[in-house]
Chain A
Amino acid sequence: MIDLSIDVTMRQGEFTLIVSDAAEVEVLGLFGPSGSGKTSLLEAIAGIRRPDAGEVRIGNRILFSSSKRIDVPARERHIGYVPQDALLFPNLDVTGNINYGKRGPDAQDEEQFVALAAILDLQALLDRRVQMLSGGEKQRVAIARALMTRPSILLLDEPLAGVDRERREVILPYILRIRRELHVPLIYVTHDETELNSIADRVLRLA
């Protein structure tokens, strides 16, 4: 369930998103044309871009506040981020990427790894080098990598943008599976209305 309040001013523009009613919003869709600042907004939420002014609150945590001089570093925000181009670490293989967020040997993490590999159908890819994956495969690995840290919320930046039409029908089910089986709240950014309609509980429009 998503409960957030974002009101920031950035170079790309001013953004205000408020979702605070008690309604069961598991997937929040953010809709906007290319160049409307969607990626910058996600980066501000994840903590890798600092807004000029404003406030970012998720749940009851204030992650950023220019008036109160709060800026929680990305490392401590527990927000999963899957960028548009997956951005898998080239020096690690698939397993290394997925496990990057792991903090130490932990039985629970082992189970999580197995579960994610199953949900996202990654078992065949685990030893592959990153350069040998297709666009869709990279996305799935990036999603698994972000989910491995058990984030409180997962940000997906145009996950299907780099994938052609037929493959999209293949990837979308994975995302739905994540929602269904893991119940991780998602903020899903896209410029494609049909995607939003099939996945979002609520849609907010940017600019």
Chain B
Amino acid sequence: MQRLFAAIAVLAAFITPVAAQPSGLVVSVAASVYDALDEIAGLYRAATGVTVALNPGGSNTLARQIAEGAKAGLFLSADEIQMDVVEQAGRIVPDTRTRLLTNELAIVAPQSAKALTLAQLLEGRIARLAMGEPGAVPAGVYGRRWLEHEGAWARLEPKVIPFPTVRAVLSAVEAGRVDAGIVYRTDATTSAVRVIATMARKDHPYLDIAYPAAVIVGPSEKEARRFLEFLKGPGARAVFDRRGFGRP
């Protein structure tokens, strides 16, 4: 009996820090932009003293959580489709939906592998191509769209190894388990892979990889609007530029 009380006392001592958790603005952010947002949140805190909590994840999971009522104040998604999901659920504050960033696809290969050219890839002269799940993961959706546009999808589809995340694609390429992978330009710069080609926006307007942001209906609306303005401002833009994200 005494041990039970002791245990409860220890538990109570631990609980106080948890119960005192701050309830502030929560931003649900796509994993591929998390690092950039983390840096920007630091700048925001230095400038305003406000701490923003970031919730990273896959855009589809984040969208689902928000649709079910999760109290995020701002949502930064890796594609328009997931933002549509949230909008259709009636969770967006109207006229706050903004195109914040753009990105480009990059084709990468293992550093140690024999030199592979884009032409060779499109001709199907590889064994394995890693990409995000072509039906679900935004990067995979874009990847497929690009290959279809190049007329190479039918040829390459049997060689595709789908992954649930871009991070997993990069790991596979870094480890040499596949011959090539389709990722975002911003991911390629931070990894130990060789970039074979980048699909520039002006050459591939049909890809239009956009990161929309929107304020979510809820108690944090005011702080979310403030943070969104900061994200559109020059300080944040410098961070995004440096990390390879394109302008809207």
- Any A–B CB pair closer than 8 Å: no
